Amino acid sequence: MVDVVFEEIECNSAIHRVRAANLPLRWALNPYRVAESPCGYCGDDASGGRESRVLVKVNAAEALRRDLARPEWRRETIAIGTACEPYHAAELRYSLTHRLLRVLRDSANPATLFTRSALVARDADVLAELSGVTDVSVVFPIATLNETVRRRIEPASDTVERRLRAMERIAEAGVRCGVLLAPVLPGLTDAPESLERVVEAAAGSGASFVHPNVLYLRPGTREWSMPLLRDAYPHLLERYAAFYQGPHGARSFTQDVIRTIEALRERLGLAPAAETPRAGGQLQLAM
């Protein structure tokens, strides 16, 4: 059992520039950070230790208010939750994400929120208020409806069923919602029928857009992910070695996934969400 320790820190600025080439948004905001974990889902201590240290930026809302009041700020879209789940368990104690959304609402600053947590439904009202004064999108990363696979690749996240219910509630409040179909994992979540089930579930729960993202093995992630893949799905090791000569998957595989999703979007009347960052591609496996 991992013990979670909250470490309260203060930040000079709440937002930071996104330097990753595969993220089209330039600014990000993360009120929480798991210090030891390389996990893209920011839930468990992937180091295998008995303690997970969560950094909590207790003054994030005040810092954001200062950031947005600066004369040079151009009210660009801010991505929330690119490095850590904004509705981490710490949110139940600190309510930082809720307070940040209120600051964004007061400043009418556009935002894109990424979450795998059903707790986001708690903030349906403030998200609706933000949507009334500027552009806002809530993006739910969903890789598969297969619960067995889901538990292995993202064990700390809410079930897909709970996420879909939360999305439906937020969409009913008038907020633009969508699904980041990610990560698409060769041999695990890439079957056309698996992709179809996710897109149909998204459309049936109020999503207005779906955007796919094939697993991205950036340096550091590969060395951490492949041993876990070997333990959980050893029959796929040879396939991954062939597909991932570099950080990106084989071009033919990626193109096949994109074509499948485009056909499903067209059939169901969903948008491509061109501004949705290609996030959520890190593979997490838990035994």
Whole-number Å distance between alpha carbons of 276 and 212 = 10
* Cis peptide bond upstream of 183, omega within 30: yes
Could you tell me the maximum CA-CA distance found in the chain, to the nearest angstrom?
56
Question: Among the residues of the chain, which ranges form H helices?
Answer: 60-69, 91-94, 96-107, 124-133, 147-153, 160-172, 192-204, 221-232, 237-243, 251-268
Which residues make beta-bridge pairs with 15?
A: 29
Instruction: Quote the DSSP letter at residue 86.
Output: T
Give me the pLDDT at residue 80, please: 97
Instruction: Quote the DSSP letter at residue 250.
Output: P
Place of tokens 């552009």: 135
Cα–Cα–Cα angle for 176, 103, 81, nearest 5°?
A: 55
Global model pTM greater than 0.85: yes
Torsional class of 212: left (φ above 0), alpha (ψ -120 to 50), beta (otherwise): beta
Give me the pLDDT at residue 222, please: 80
Domain 3-268: state its class.
alpha beta
Domain ranges for the chain: 3-268
Give me the pLDDT at residue 22, please: 55
Per-residue pLDDT of the chain (287 residues; tens, 9 = 90+): 567 899 999 999 999 998 765 566 899 999 999 875 444 434 443 334 445 789 999 999 999 999 999 999 999 999 999 889 999 999 999 999 999 999 999 999 999 999 999 999 999 999 999 999 999 999 999 999 999 999 988 888 999 999 999 999 999 999 999 999 999 999 999 999 999 999 999 999 999 999 999 998 887 778 777 887 888 899 999 999 888 988 888 999 999 999 999 999 999 999 987 544 444 444 444 43
User: Per residue in 135-170, is it b (16+ CB within 10 Å) or e — as a string?
Assistant: ebbbbbbbbbbbeebbebbbebbbebeebbebbbbb
Give me the pLDDT at residue 159, please: 97
Give me the pLDDT at residue 21, please: 54
Question: How many of the other CB atoms lie within 10 Å of CB of 124?
Answer: 18
